[in-house]
Amino acid sequence: MTAASDTVSYEIVGDVGLICLENPPVNAASASLRAGIVAALQALEIEVSAIGIYGAGRAFIAGADIKEFGQPQADPILPEVCLAVENCAVPVVAIVHGPTLGGGLEVAMSCHARIALPSLRAGLPEVLLGIIPGAGGTQRGPRLMGVRNTLDLATTGRHVKADEALALGLVDRLDEGAPRDVALRAAQEVIAGRLATRRTAEIIVKADRTVLNEFASALRAKQAHLFSPHKAVEAVAFASGDFAHGMQREREIFQECIQSPQRAGLIHAFFAERAVGKYPEMGATPREVAEVGVVGGGTMGAGIATACLLAGLKVVLLEMNVDALDRARATITGNLDGAVKRGKMSAEARDAALGELLKLSTKYPDFSACDMIIEAVFEDMTVKKQVFRNLNLHAKPGAILATNTSYLDVDEVAKATARPESVIGLHFFSPAHVMKLLEIVVGAHTAPEVVATGFALAKKLRKIAVRAGVCDGFIGNRILNHYRKVADYLIMDGASPAQVDAAVRGFGFAMGPFQVMDLAGLDIGWATRKRLAPTRPAEERYVEIADRVCENGWFGRKAGRGYYDYPDGTPNADVLQIIETERAKAGITPCDFSDQEIVERYMTAMVCEAVRILEDGIAQRPIDIDAVQLFGYGFPRHHGGPLHYADSIGLAEIVARAERYASEDAHYWQVPRLLRELADTGGSFAELNQAAG
């Protein structure tokens, strides 16, 4: 093997040249990989009759190196690499396996033939990062698999497996074996004329205008907030013309996307998803979890049990009586049926889950074999403590005792046991078998291996775990409680719930705060407000509208009424009446808020509480808070999370806004110390993330 760069090596076997790409963990197309490919081609094309190119490790190439985006790119850039491959003096065949994404697929498309191994996951996921394929994907894609298929892959970012790649025309053949062996065999077949080769750029493609227009308008309706998917369609439209012109237009559009704030937000979200997996206790060895106990089979307990069954874990679910167990079983069966319908589980696996994996019980001794027991009973400290006293008596030594509480003090719950080191908060989100986020709430005495086990469980359940400390509401609900107040202030002072919701949707959330409250049930917030009433500071402005709504039993969707009437979802006129009455009682003359003003107040409130959470050490880093909001609260991915948003707006601007609003309510709009410090010194949350590693 001869090194062409740090990450690329080549060898000559007879009249075949082999290029091996090795840039762990996923062979990202870094500067060294790009330069190495070009150097290896140059060295080989004068010596051999055909070249095979393959990836070492688990991927061919997982795409451009995302860390390089936003910085100047070293030569050769990826389109030049692709051109060098396509213009190579001898045929080049790509052996594609594992992730072959974005620029990786573009390199493969520039080769003269492609062979897929069974592990292939091919795709053009650039739109998920706010960009478009920038190394010929929008031009070579249509030439190999047609315009419609390219539009599909380039606007959804979905991955295709080997057999679909073959059906699409993206690869020429399927094979099996070690990538190097397949590469050698394939190149020999090229020389023997048994594997046809062609130059992709020379294929003529016709772009049907009607297909393009239909696709573009459907996309505008579906993804109005996003920038790059529409740009991908624009680039694909050039594929039917001259290849070099199409490549030039693709490059220009790619650059436009690179400059867009959405690119920065989406890439931040990509790294947030991965950063949260790094936490202080990660060196500890997780305890084995094969059997999980769940206490309570209501909304959350049934959802948590479903999530565990979907992951193949044994589950013992405990309820107060047989009727409650029947209801839990019906919910779990419905959830699993849904998974079968969506192709997430086979009918046989569902039957096995319900028959062999799930056990229902009303007796604590049935938990004796459980490695972890997750409590999801009513949100009431007395009830939870009683449950934990029972768990302490019946759980085996070493079993992890977890609470799914939304707000309550995990350390207080732990006091009901003689093993606080084994107690942890595992805060799932509803519906628990669907939502990605899991907050891992670490108590004062929680042992490191218990924390590591929480993270390991999240991985098994395919969830994104974020470490949080103990406080009322942890990271997510504490922030939620704070910005929910600003939504109330806005409706008290002049906006309607529907206007607030529309403005927040305009920012990119799927739903506004009042729609979310209707969906979750207004009774939950009402109970929390009552619980916190004795400790509410006298200076705090309290809006009673939500209490009046609840007093009428209008608990949202489940009650048929809330801020909206259901099933049609029109604003509840009686709530508007309540708002007017409350305003009159408080002597408020309603004012007009623009949608922008609504969003600015809402976001400033969110940022301020997020910073206080950082100050209190409840979250480790700003990026953890962003991840909680992104994966648990529907924060629009292209804004990257509240603290990324704050950086993008400028911290001085956030401080200025809060100070402006403070003239109306100095108690609520306090500027957190850390925010002011960063604003004064020109710092940013991105720098804090970097410093934390």
Binding site residues, ligand 3HC, CB under 6 A: 25-26, 28, 62-67, 78, 99, 101-103, 106, 125-126, 129, 133-135, 137, 274
Residues designated as active site:
106, 126
Q: Taking the complex as a whole, how short is the minimal distance between the CB of residue 572 and ligand NAI, in angstroms?
A: 22
121-123 β-sheet, strand order: 99-101, 121-123, 159-160
How far apart are CB 440 and ligand NAI at their closest, in Å?
Answer: 14
Minimum Å distance from CB 490 to ligand NAI? 24
Q: Pick from 93, 106, 107, 162: which is nearest to 138 by CA?
A: 106
Minimum Å gap between C-beta 472 and ligand NAI is 12
Chain-centroid distance, C-alpha 323: 37
Binding ligand NAI (rule: CB under 6 A), the pick from 20, 195, 212, 377 is: 377
Contact 499, 548 (CB under 8 A): no
86 binds, among ligand 3HC, ligand NAI, none (CB under 5 to 8 A by kind): none
Nearest distance from C-beta of residue 520 to ligand NAI, angstroms = 6
Structure tokens given for 656: 């200025």
Strands (E), 14-49: 16-21
Name the nearest CA neighbour of 166 among 124, 116, 104, 91.
Answer: 116
What long-range pairs does 416-421 form, CB within 8 A, spacing at least 24?
416/384, 416/385, 416/386, 416/388, 416/389, 416/392, 417/388, 417/389, 417/391, 417/392, 418/392, 419/392, 420/444, 420/445, 420/446, 421/445, 421/446, 421/447, 421/450
CB atoms closer than 10 angstroms to residue 320: 12
When CB distances are held under 5 to 8 angstroms depending on the partner's kind, the choice from ligand 3HC, ligand NAI, none that residue 235 binds is none
Q: Which of 372, 368, 367, 369 is nearest to 453 (CA)?
A: 372
8 A C-beta contact, residue 401 and residue 395: yes
Establish if 434 lies at the interface with ligand NAI (CB under 6 A): no
Question: CA-based diameter of the chain, in Å?
Answer: 91
Residue 376 binding: pick among ligand 3HC, ligand NAI, none (C-beta 5-8 Å cut-off by kind): ligand NAI
Cα–Cα distance measured from residue 628 to residue 221, given in angstroms and rounded to the nearest whole number: 28
Assess 320 for contact with ligand NAI (CB under 6 A).
yes
Residue of minimal Cβ distance to ligand NAI: 298
Distance CA 186, CA 195 (A): 7
Burial class (CB in 10 A: 0-12, 13-18, 19+), 502: middle
Phi, psi of 626 (to 5 degrees): -60, -45
Report the nearest approach of ligand 3HC to the CB of residue 236 (Å).
13
Q: Report the alpha-carbon distance of residue 233 to residue 241 in Å, rounded.
A: 15
- Residue choice 3, 203, 218, 383 for contact with ligand NAI (CB under 6 A): 383
Shorter beta-carbon distance to ligand NAI: residue 137 or 296: 296
**Among 172, 319, 600, 609, which residue sits at the site for ligand NAI (rule: CB under 6 A)?**
319
Nearer to ligand NAI, 254 or 428 (CB): 428
Q: Which of residues 289-308 bind ligand NAI (CB under 6 A)?
A: 295-301
The residue from 237, 275, 376, 486 that contacts ligand NAI (CB under 6 A) is 376
Q: Is 207 in the site for ligand NAI (CB under 6 A)?
A: no
Q: What 3-state DSSP class applies to 375?
A: strand
Tokens representing 339?
């998974």
- Residue 135 binds which entry of ligand NAI, ligand 3HC, none, CB below 5-8 Å type-dependent: ligand 3HC
Partner from ligand 3HC, ligand NAI, none contacting 480, C-beta within 5 to 8 A by type: none
By CB under 6 A, which span of 18-26, 120-128, 422-430, 548-556 interacts with ligand NAI?
422-430
**Shortest approach of ligand NAI to residue 301 CB, angstroms?**
6
Q: Which of 406, 496, 620, 629 binds ligand NAI (CB under 6 A)?
A: 406
Among 123, 77, 128, which residue's Cα sits nearest to residue 100?
123
476, 481, 484, 489: CA torsion to nearest 10: -150
Using DSSP, how many helices (H) and how many strands (E) does the chain show?
29, 20
d(CA 18, CA 43) in angstroms, rounded, equals 11
Separation CA 267–CA 135 (nearest Å): 19
Question: Which residue's CB is nearer to ligand NAI, number 148 or number 436?
Answer: 436
Angle at 236 between CA 232 and CA 237, to 5 degrees: 120
For residue 307, CA distances in Å to 156, 315, 330, 342, 459 come to 26, 10, 15, 15, 12
Picked from ligand NAI, ligand 3HC, none, the partner binding residue 387 (CB below 5 to 8 A depending on kind) is ligand NAI
Least CB distance from residue 19 to ligand 3HC, whole Å? Answer: 19
- Nearest approach in angstroms of CB 328 to ligand NAI is 7
Nearer to ligand 3HC, 99 or 525 (CB): 99
Q: Name the nearest CA neighbour of 687 among 632, 639, 646, 633.
A: 646
Which of the listed partners (ligand 3HC, ligand NAI, none) does 38 bind, with a CB threshold of 5 to 8 Å by partner kind? none
x-or-dash pattern for ligand NAI, window 386-405, by CB under 6 A? -x----------------xx
Stretch that binds ligand NAI, among 17-25, 215-223, 376-384, 610-618 (CB under 6 A): 376-384
Binding status of residue 318 toward ligand NAI by CB under 6 A = yes
Give the number of other Cβ atoms within 10 Å of residue 162's Cβ.
23
Please report where in the chains the tokens 């390199």 appear, as a residue: 107
Which of ligand 3HC, ligand NAI, none does residue 125 bind (CB under 5 to 8 Å by kind)?
Answer: ligand 3HC
Q: Please give the residues from 470 up to 529 whose contact with ligand NAI meets the rule CB under 6 A.
A: 520
Shorter beta-carbon distance to ligand 3HC: residue 155 or 496 = 155
If one asks whether residue 361 binds ligand NAI (CB under 6 A), the answer comes out as: no
Judged by the rule CB under 6 A, the positions of this chain that interact with ligand NAI are 295-301, 318-320, 324, 376-379, 383, 387, 404-406, 428-430, 520
